[in-house]
Structure formats: C-alpha cells, structure tokens
Chains A and B, each alone.
Chain A
C-alpha cells in the first residue's frame, strides 16, 4: 500500500516534536539571570549559597558589566539555591558559570553533595573551575571597581597565569572524571585574599574524595611539571647565587620492571642568573644542568613521599602503571619509585656551544 506523501511528512514532524525533547528548552533572554560564580558555605548544619549574578549598567553611551549576590540557605545545596533563586523573578542560568567555590568544611564533609549537585544539572558548563576558600565572606567582599566580577577574575587568574603560577588549570570536567573514576585523586586550589588582592596559592589534595593534606606553591609547580604544562619557572641556588630555569618541555615516561622508574626529560632556558654567574662558560652551564637535575630530583622525591604517606595519587602514577602493564600489578604506595631526570638548558635564546664560549 502506498502511503500518501502528506502522511509521511506528518509522521516525520510528529516524531521530531515528540521524541526529540528539544522543544522544552526554550528560554528567552529576558527571563534569564546569568550566574558568574557559585559560593557554598555551611553554618549551623545548614548550607548557605551565595550566587553571583551578572548585571549590566548603562550610563550614557557606555555599558558596564557588574555583578550582585543573592543568598539562600537550606538543608541541602539544591534547597539553598532554590531559596536564593526565589528572591529574583528570573530563571538561574548556570551555563556561563566561571567558578564554584566552597569552604574547607564543605570540602571535608560534603564534597559528595557538591559533585552530585553539579553532576545532576544538565544545563551546565563544563569548563568552570572549582576552588576552596577558607573565608567565603571575605572573598565576596573583595570585589572592587577594577574587578567587579569575582567569578571572572578568578577564572582569568587561572587561565592566564597558571603556567608560571601555582594554579592547576584543570576544569570541572577533569575533576569530575577523577571524582567518578577514582583513577586519580582530586586536587583543589585554594583562593584567598592577600593584601586585599585575590590570590590563588597552595591547595588541598584528597584521597578517595577525602581531604588529606595541603600542598604549598613549590609543590604545586612540581605537580604542574607532571601535567606537562610549559613555561614553568623554577628558582635554584648555586654557590650562593640564584638562577631561574624556564622549563619549555618535559617528557615523562614510565618504565616498569620490579620497580617504578619515572624518567623526566626536561628542556629549558636559563631565564635569569645573578651577577657573577658567567653564562658564556660552558663548564658552568654543565654545572647548572647537573645541579638543576639533582635539586629537581630531590624536590620530586619529597613530594612523592608526602603523597605516599597520605595515600594520595594526585599525579595519577598508578593509572599510568595500569595503562602500561595492567596485569603485572605494581603500586606506587608499595613498590619502590626511582626518579631519573635529564636536564638540558641553554642560555636564554642562545646555544652556548656554537658561541665559542670560554672553557
């Protein structure tokens, strides 16, 4: 039997409308309140959410992007956010959210609640940052004319200065992946106010989603080295004189026998050297290379010991081991780890051997 064309088209349109579910997402721009950051705290066993919302102020021909907060409390995060949103006549729009910041108390006791909330929201961006703050209130009050939007300020700080700073530039999706898979433990940066400025330094690391310790800035830089971030700056001392190595590239490979061998192939420049360090001297360059190698090895070993003591694998070593040799099970917490580093440095912009430097 031949089906008339009009029936075919009607069936097609009906399927499109009823089975795709896309027609329920209609949102008018007028009815949306765009969230810049979500801050979560806990007091008297109740969650308090501070939601930073964008607003635009027009004066004469100029318009300025500003923000304001709405606050809500509740027995869970969803409840607190709903209570906050009841204060405005618009729908909260999470897609352009820059940051989620919560207190240390939440990190210790309610990390699961936060991740569950973020996971269940369909209309949510995947590249915002999650941070911990010891003082949420102080952070909220840090807004000024130069930085009128907290979420954007923090997000930009991470995006544009994570290479030479202690920030770990992992977005929400990466953290969620670690949270769900347990292949790698979570690390969260700490945001605080220092001399009235927002700074991101130090951080908390977790084991099985439980907060187990803190890392300082130097340790965080080493963590960035393992994440293959380029342009990392490390300061060293030789003969009581300082020099800075800018690491351009770090290749890491794992070799497994009965022990775990981690080989780091580092290429960098001597970015800065104190007076008295003659960089045209090839011997000195060799000395700097071996000193850098030794110092970095010592620092990495110290970091690994700290992590092993707290049973936290924020680098993902065990995951690498599993990827390389899944059945011959080695464990970073049980087996010996050897760090082998090879460092090659040049004077900034020059290759010393071709310059005819003095021996």
Chain B
C-alpha cells in the first residue's frame, strides 16, 4: 500500500471521523481521505466520489473535479492541515490533491448582541472569517484594502487576518502589529479575546484594543487609518489602536444629527467621570468637608445616617460589592432569570437594606448614580477600569477627603496621559490635541479630514 496512505492512517489512528475510500479505475488506484466532522458528505459525494467513479478515462483530475479550491500538494506535511480544514485528500501514486469540501459549520449572519444600536446596519460578524471578510469588503469596494495572513497557535493553527487600507494606514503601525503577531508562541488562539489579552499585555486596567462585532465600525476604523485583526472562529474583530474616547462613544453616533449627538457625547464623558468619582466624593464631603454641604442637606444626611452602625466607607463598600454581585449575576444568568434578579436586587437595595439599618437611603442614591452612569459603557474592560479607579478614589477620599480626591485625580491624569495604545497616546484627541478629530469624536461634528496623528493621508477624497 502507498506509504503516504499508511502515514495518514497512522497519524489519525484513534480519530473515528477519518473516512478512507479506495477507488480502483482501470489500472489506477485513488485513495480518498476526509474527516466527516469537518467535510460535507454531500460535497464529497457529488464533487469527488462521483467525479472519479463515473469517469473511466481520467487524465487530468484537476479539470475533472468541479471544486473552486483545488490544490496540488507538493509537501506531504501539509496533508494534516488540509484535512483539518475540511478538505478531501486524493492520493494517486505520488500525486496528492486537496479538494475543498468544507461543511457549513457556522451560523448565519445575525444582529450584533454586545453593540446593539437603534440605527445602523443590523449585520454582525460570525465565526467564519471568510464571511467576515465578505461583510467588510462589501462595504469597502477598493483594492487598497489589504489583508495579511498569519497563522498562530501550535494546535489551533488559527488564521489571523491583518486588515488595513494601504494608502491610509501608517505602515509603521501595520509592521509593528505584524511583528507582535509573529512573535506569539502559544498552543491555541480560540477567540479574539485571547489575542487581545496577548497584544494588550500591560498592567494598566484601561483597554487599548477594542473588540467589535460590527462591520460598519470596522470600516469606519479602517478609513481613519486604524488596523483590524480578524481571527477565524471568532465573531469579534480587534481594532488597533483604540483610544479612551473610542470606548466611550459608540459607532451609532455617526448616524444621528450632530447637534443631538453632541449633547449625548458630552453626557457620556460626564457619566464616565461620575462613575469614577461619585462614591469617593460623597465619602469626602460627608466625613471631611461637611462645610461644602448646605445645611438642609447636611441635616438630612445626618438624620438618614443616624441609624447606620458602619462608617460611611464600609457602607459604600457593602453597596458597591452588592451591586457588582448583581451586575455579574445579571450577565451570567440566562435571560429568562434576568427580571427575577432585577426584582431581587431592587428589593434588597431599595427597601430591605435601608429598613435593616445597614445602609442609608442617600448611599443607595449615590451608588445608583454611580452604576447607572457606568452602565453606559458596554465594554467590560472599560467597566473594569472604571471599577478599579472608583475604589482608588474611594480609598483616597476615606483618608484625605476632598484633598484625597484631588490627589487621586492627579494620579489618574498622570496614569492616563502617559498611557500608550500601540505607540500612540491613549488620551488622543484630547492630548495630543487634534481639533478636527476632537470635533468628530467628542462632539460628533462632520469633518472632511482624517487625523494627522493616525495617518499621513489626511484628505478623505484620496481613497
């Protein structure tokens, strides 16, 4: 028997899904291998088996089999790769062919779930990289859209695509990303999240890479000079570099009128600050700087707190922990249980905790404002960063009052302004200041220019 056939059979010894067929036509023997879990039986039957079996005179198998993807394998080490990618391997003497007979294992295109928006396209990325590329190329009909392929993962051999528009994107950025990806030595890349963790590998809680499942968001980022990474098997794409403002504002802002969106954008920046500062500020003014509270309010606070046995900081921490538990359980629980959790949470927080004298009503208001503000940001990484800085502000306020808030604010500003996304400043377009881009991102105003910080091709008509 053919040596190669033996080799394949040995390598896939305990793999029950390997199907082997031997077809003899005249004096020629064809050994056919495919994995039934990855290949479509219909395709194998119609395109390969029938094609070979019903033709008595096979001179050129390439012309005989009507597959769009027919590969003549020169290196026998590649057989495994093609088998594992749903190809059917045909061996005739020393000739090895691979015919694409992939089964449709992926779902159909559906609406994005993590970036749901009222307006804008309703299609989202899926697990099939080809479909995802199609969704992007359908929108960007230009030959300048390039994609570099890199295979990462010793076991998963995941296909990674680096997408960029060659006459917009700074090639220094592309090369840097490519170099980083080439240096990855890992067993498996199962999802875009893992790659994000590897590329964004620093101790700062703020994320520098944005995950998205919206093709319109991807296209908009590409047109601004950013780079997109797609991974086969993941319905998310990575946008590099991403700045703080990208996590605050959703793409849907681009579909509404500038005057209406401006207010929302400013509101989101306010909410970002509120989500971090409010609990600390409350602790500061009620334990150190009571002079800042008007007397009717101070008396109210004093009366409400009179029955609470804990210091304000413990009260705040109890509430923050309860809210975090509720938030986490709401995400983890199936949707059907969601309302039950909400009712339970509202009861615990709204009534029982106050009646039991564990927390004061005003603390519930403070924490509610904090959490409502933080719910504006759907990205879990940015929520995590807000959570960490909230606790830092809280600790500083507990020890130093409003002075502590100022200290924490200085620390926060130092941290965030010195932080880099790839090699670019994270606080862009605020620092370094880019008025054109700031108008677009922070106020939603239309601009005909790209940011010179991201690309050298700043005129939009040059695509």
Contacts and interface: CB of A to CB of B under 8 A. Distances in A.
A28 interface: yes
B403 A28 contact: no
A25 B407 contact: no
Nearest to A94: B291
Given A30-B306, A56-B302, A65-B296, A23 B311 contact: no
Interface in A1-58: 16-17, 20, 22-23, 25-30, 32, 34, 54, 56, 58
A322 to B, nearest CB: 35
Contacts of B295: 34, 54, 96, 152
A283 B265 CA distance: 63
A96 B296 CA distance: 10
Interface in B48-107: none
A22 B288 contact: yes
B12 interface: no
Contact of B302 (A16, A32, A58, A125): A32
A20 B400 contact: yes
Contacts of A16: 400, 407
Nearest to B301: A29
Nearest to B292: A95
Contacts of B298: 29, 34, 96
A165 to B, nearest CB: 23
Given A16-B407, A20-B400, A20-B403, A26 B287 contact: yes
Interface in B243-285: none
B300 A25 contact: no
Nearest to B396: A16
Nearest to A58: B303
A93 interface: yes
A63 interface: yes
Interface residues of B, number: 24
Given A17-B399, A22-B404, A54 B290 contact: no
A30 B302 contact: yes
Contact of A54 (B287, B299, B306): B299
B160 interface: no
Nearest to B303: A56
Contacts of A30: 302, 305-306, 308
Interface string B286-320: 11101100011011111101101001100000000
A38 to B, nearest CB: 15
B291 A23 contact: no
A23 B400 contact: yes
Q: Is the interface of A mostly helix, strand, loop or mixed?
A: mixed
A103 to B, nearest CB: 26
Given A63-B300, A96-B298, A29 B403 contact: no
B286 A22 contact: no
Contacts of A22: 288, 399-401, 403-404
A155 to B, nearest CB: 10
B286 A29 contact: yes
B404 A56 contact: no
Interface string B332-359: 0000000000000000000000000000
A16 B288 CA distance: 16
Contact of B287 (A17, A20, A28, A123): A28
Contacts of A96: 290-291, 295, 298
Contact of B288 (A17, A26, A34, A152): A26
A121 B311 CA distance: 26
Contacts of A34: 295, 298-299, 302
Nearest to B399: A23
B288 A25 contact: yes
A307 B305 CA distance: 53
Interface in B357-404: 399-401, 403-404
A28 B312 contact: yes
Contacts of A125: 291
B451 to A, nearest CB: 33
A28 B401 CA distance: 12
A27 B312 contact: no
Contact of B290 (A56, A58, A63, A95): A95
A90 to B, nearest CB: 10
Contacts of B400: 16, 20, 22-23
B300 A29 contact: no
B311 A28 contact: yes
Contacts of B302: 29-30, 32, 34, 56
A125 B306 CA distance: 24
Contact of B299 (A17, A25, A56, A95): A56
Nearest to A93: B290
A58 B302 CA distance: 13
A165 B375 CA distance: 53
Contacts of B305: 28-30
Nearest to B288: A25
Contact of A63 (B291, B303, B311, B403): B303
Given A28-B312, A96-B295, A56 B287 contact: no
Nearest to B398: A26
A22 B312 CA distance: 18
A95 B294 CA distance: 11
B407 A29 contact: no
B359 to A, nearest CB: 14
A34 B401 CA distance: 19
Contacts of A58: 303
A34 B290 CA distance: 10
Nearest to A126: B291
Nearest to B294: A96
Given A16-B400, A30-B306, A65 B288 contact: no
Contacts of A25: 288, 401
A239 B196 CA distance: 93
Contacts of B286: 29
A27 B308 CA distance: 15
A32 to B, nearest CB: 7
A188 B14 CA distance: 102
B403 A56 contact: no
A125 B291 CA distance: 8
Contacts of B404: 22
A206 B308 CA distance: 50
Interface in B118-174: none
Contacts of B303: 56, 58, 63
A27 B306 contact: no
Nearest to B308: A30
Contacts of A17: 399
A30 B288 CA distance: 13
Nearest to A24: B288
16 contacts: A16-B400, A22-B403, A25-B401, A28-B311, A29-B286, A30-B305, A34-B295, A34-B298, A34-B302, A56-B300, A58-B303, A65-B299, A95-B291, A96-B290, A96-B291, A125-B291
Interface of A: 16-17, 20, 22-23, 25-30, 32, 34, 54, 56, 58, 63, 65, 93, 95-96, 123, 125, 152
Given A30-B308, A63-B303, 5 more contacts: A27-B287, A27-B288, A27-B290, A29-B287, A95-B291
Leading 6 A-B pairs by shortest Cβ distance: A95-B291, A56-B303, A29-B302, A22-B400, A22-B403, A96-B295
